[in-house]
C-alpha cells in the first residue's frame, strides 16, 4: 500500500517527503485554506511550491471549486494546463456529488469525470461514502476513488446517539464488521442483542456509552450499519472488493484518523492510504520501541562505537 500525505501545509509536506515514504499528496479546499494561512506567497505561487516539493511522479490532488459540469471541466483543464507542466504530477479532484441540493445537477460530478478523463487528465473522485458511488466513479473513468473512512465512522457513531468530544473522539478507532460481530451476539432476526458480561464492560469502556442506549429498541438495530457498511474500514474493504476487476483504478483510503485505521485499510487491500501528518507521525511511536532504543544507546561501549 502506498502512503500519501493528506495536507497542504508546506512544512508538513517537506518533512514527510524527507522521510522517503510518501508517494503522493492529497489536498482539498479546507486543507488549502489552512495551509495558505501559513505562507506569505500568492495562491498561485503557493500551489506551485506544493507541486515542486512533491516532485515528478508524486501525484498531487487539487480539487475544483466549481459545482457545475461545465465549470468543473473548465477548471480541471485550466489547472492541468497551468500547473501540470511544473512536475507533471497534477490530479484533479472531483466530488462524486458536487451539488446535492440541486436534483438536476447531482449527476454533474460523474459527467465531469467522464469528460475530464477523455482529455487524459487523471481524476480523483472524492467524498465517496458508499461502494456504489465508487463503482459509478470508476465506470465514469476516475483513476482514483477516495472512500472516506473517518467520516463514515463519525456518521455511524452519531447514529448510535454518541456525541463527538463527549462519547468519542474522532481519533478513536471504530471496529470493522468482523470486530462488531465478536462484540455483539445478534439473533437471526436482528431484533435482540445480548452481550457477555465482559464484552459489555469492554464496550462501555471503549465507547463510553451506556449499552441501554444502543439496544433499547428494535429500530436501533439498523443504526449499527449504513446500508450494510459497518465502519469506515468496512467501506474501504467493500470498495476494494467491488472494484477488483478495475485494474486501472486505485482505491485511496481517505479520512484516516488513527494508526490502527492505517493497518486495517492496508489489510483490506487499499492501494493507497492518504494520512494526515499527525497520524503519520504517531505511527513512529511505541513505548517499547522507545525503551529499546534508549537501552541500546546506554549499552554502547566505546570500542564498538570506535568501529564506525
Q: Which residues are catalytic?
A: 93
- Helix/strand/coil (H/E/C) assignment for every residue in the chain: CEEEEECCCHHHHHHHHHCCCEEEEECCHHHHHHHHCCCCCCHHHHHHHHHHHHCCCCCEEEECCCCCHHHHHHHHHHHHHHHHHHHCCEEEEEECCCCCCCCCHHHHHHHHHHHHHHCCCCEEEEEECCHHHHHHHHHHCCCEEEEEHHHHHHHHHHHCCCCECCCECCCCCCCCHHHHHHHCEECCCCCCEECCHHHHHHHHHHHCCCHHHHHCCHHHHHHHCECCECCHHHHHHHHHHHCCCCCCCEEEEECCCCHHHHHHHHHCCCCEEEECHHHHHHHCCCHHHHHHHHHHHHHCCHHHHHCC
Amino acid at each position: 500500500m502506498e502512503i500519501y500525505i493528506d495536507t497542504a501545509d508546506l512544512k508538513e509536506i517537506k518533512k514527510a517527503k524527507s522521510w522517503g515514504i510518501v508517494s503522493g499528496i492529497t489536498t482539498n479546499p479546507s486543507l488549502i485554506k489552512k495551509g495558505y494561512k501559513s505562507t506569505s506567497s500568492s495562491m498561485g505561487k503557493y500551489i506551485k511550491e506544493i507541486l515542486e516539493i512533491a516532485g515528478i511522479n508524486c501525484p498531487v490532488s487539487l480539487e475544483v471549486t466549481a459545482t457545475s459540469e461545465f465549470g468543473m471541466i473548465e477548471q480541471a483543464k485550466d489547472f492541468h494546463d497551468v500547473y501540470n507542466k511544473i512536475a507533471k504530477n497534477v490530479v484533479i479532484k472531483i466530488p462524486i456529488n458536487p451539488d446535492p441540493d440541486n436534483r438536476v445537477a447531482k449527476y454533474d460530478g460523474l459527467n465531469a469525470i467522464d469528460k475530464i478523463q477523455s482529455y487524459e487528465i487523471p481524476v480523483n473522485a472524492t467524498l465517496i461514502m458508499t461502494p456504489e458511488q465508487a463503482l459509478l466513479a470508476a465506470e465514469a473513468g476516475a483513476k482514483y476513488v477516495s472512500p472516506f473512512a473517518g467520516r463514515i465512522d463519525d456518521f455511524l457513531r452519531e447514529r448510535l446517539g454518541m456525541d463527538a468530544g463527549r462519547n468519542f473522539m474522532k481519533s478513536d478507532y471504530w471496529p470493522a464488521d468482523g470486530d462488531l460481530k465478536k462484540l455483539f451476539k445478534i439473533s437471526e432476526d436482528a431484533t435482540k442483542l445480548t452481550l457477555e458480561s465482559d464484552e459489555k464492560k469492554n464496550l462501555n469502556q471503549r465507547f463510553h456509552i451506556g449499552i441501554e442506549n444502543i439496544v433499547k429498541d428494535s429500530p436501533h438495530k439498523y443504526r449499527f450499519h449504513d446500508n450494510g457498511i459497518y465502519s469506515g474500514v468496512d467501506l474501504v474493504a467493500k470498495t476494494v472488493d467491488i472494484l477488483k476487476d478495475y485494474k486501472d483504478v486505485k482505491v485511496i483510503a481517505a479520512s484516516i484518523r488513527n494508526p490502527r485505521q492505517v493497518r486495517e485499510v492496508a489489510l483490506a487491500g487499499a492501494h493507497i492510504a492518504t494520512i494526515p501528518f499527525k497520524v503519520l507521525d504517531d505511527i513512529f511511536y511505541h513505548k517499547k520501541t522507545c525503551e529499546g532504543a534508549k537501552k541500546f544507546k546506554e549499552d554502547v561501549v566505546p570500542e564498538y562505537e570506535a568501529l564506525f
